[in-house]
Amino acid sequence: MAQLHKKFTDAQTKELIERYLNKEIERTYIQEILGIKKRRFFILVKKYRENPETFSIQYTRSTKTRKIPQSAERNILRELKVEKKLIQDKNVPLRSYNYSYIKDHLEKKYKQKVSLPTIIDRAKKNDFYLKKPKRTIHDREVLTNYTGEIIQHDSSHHKWSPYAKEKWYLITSLDDFSRYLLYAKLIKKETSWAHICALQAVLLKHGFPFSYYVDCHSIFRFVQGRDSLWRKHHKLTDEANPQWKQVLNDCNVKVTYALSPQAKGKIERPYRWLQDRLIRTCARETITDIRYAQRVLNQEVYRYNNRQVHSTTQEIPYMRFQRALNDNKSLFREFAIRPPYQSIKDIFCLRINRIINPYRQISLNNLQLKVTGATLGETVNIRIYPMNNGIAEVRFWCNDKLIDVKNIKNSDLGTVHF
């Protein structure tokens, strides 16, 4: 219905209706001039006939603006102050307000439903508003056709809780097609073993994907000139396989490297989403322990995977992931141990080669280990599987045969970085 009071005065409208009643202008022309439909026109004619003197097209809204409770007003300002304090803290990687998070937090903690425009309005009126910086335009489309075609894997180092004494690492794995987060864990120290554990969790649950997509971190790739302290290099880039890559080689999974941060954008955006939510919740709950931070992370990952509609796919990640599996649009292969290996401890492990000495022993961090069934001068492939009890199961392979198994303290294997 056209808003006549913004286009015509009362006198102009009266004149047109009078000319219609005097049969000077046909109805269709007046409707077109006023920009109204037939029903609206006859309503105005009836109103004019009833009382030409008081006829008016002006009106005032009868609905009153709904006021929110004073307690909600106070809570909005309280949460905005918390946000401002986090943004001003240089050690916390937050540089903007998250009004959607405040809306969810008010509903969750205070049981108060407040609209997002209301929160933004209070933020602008009370100096809790920052203009968003212009971002580089990127191509927001899914380039893969199958789930499991590309697994984006990365880590991020931040102070995830303002009350923590140290920064933690967040390791994640994301299915490119569905944007489903397959793995997310906080750790205190980033090591090859931590990333191998991530591989184990994903591959045992979902099977072998077609490929992994990572950056050029030394854990994932050997780059000549960067990974060596010696001027005279004996190995070129990619001629030496890091521990993490050797695991994927045993699984026949391809590894692709991103050559710039921009190329990792698809997993950086979920990082920002998790980062915002995780830091803000840890701050409000004054979390100092990584174990409690992990619980918060688990809740946010569940929300992202099962509740949040992804801005690019316009689908909930879990639903898109499951639909792809049901429609056979998947490149995941069933997990299987390739012969001659016998256990997952032979696959998801740290590896090192040693030569049997005349005493039928090998040396590992000045630790002399006698190897049963070994032959003098032969090369033994040692596969080390650290366990949670501080003990590592060390498996000795020679000529595709398992010749010995020993349990050794992790502390005695000092040259191997767990």
In tens, the pLDDT along 373-415 reads 888 899 999 999 998 888 999 999 999 999 999 999 988 886 4
- Where do the domains of the chain lie? 4-50, 70-125, 151-326, 344-412
pLDDT at 99: 93
* pLDDT at site 297: 96
Asked whether the CA dihedral 196, 202, 204, 209 is positive or negative, the reply is negative
| CATH superfamily label, 151-326 | Ribonuclease H-like superfamily/Ribonuclease H (3.30.420.10)
Q: State residue 187's pLDDT score.
A: 96
Top-ranked range on mean pLDDT: pick from 55-59, 173-177, 260-264: 173-177
C-alpha Rg value of the chain to the nearest Å: 33
Whole-number pLDDT of residue 228: 53
Predicted pLDDT at 3: 74
pLDDT at 233: 47
- Cβ-based burial of 292 (10 A; exposed 0-12, middle 13-18, buried ≥19): middle
Q: Assign 182 a pLDDT band (cuts: 50, 70, 90).
A: very high
Burial code (b: 16+ CB inside 10 Å, e: under 16) for 375-395 equals: eeeeebebbbbbeeeeebbbb
E strand map for 194-247 = 211-214
pLDDT digits 0-9 by tens, 81-90: 999 999 998 8
Predicted local distance difference test score (pLDDT) of residue 135: 60
Structure tokens at 182: 């397959």
Contact call for residues 394 and 384 (beta carbons, < 8 A): yes
Q: What is the mean pLDDT of the chain?
A: 87
Bridge-based pairing state of the strands 211-214 and 254-257 = parallel
Average pLDDT over residues 24-29: 87
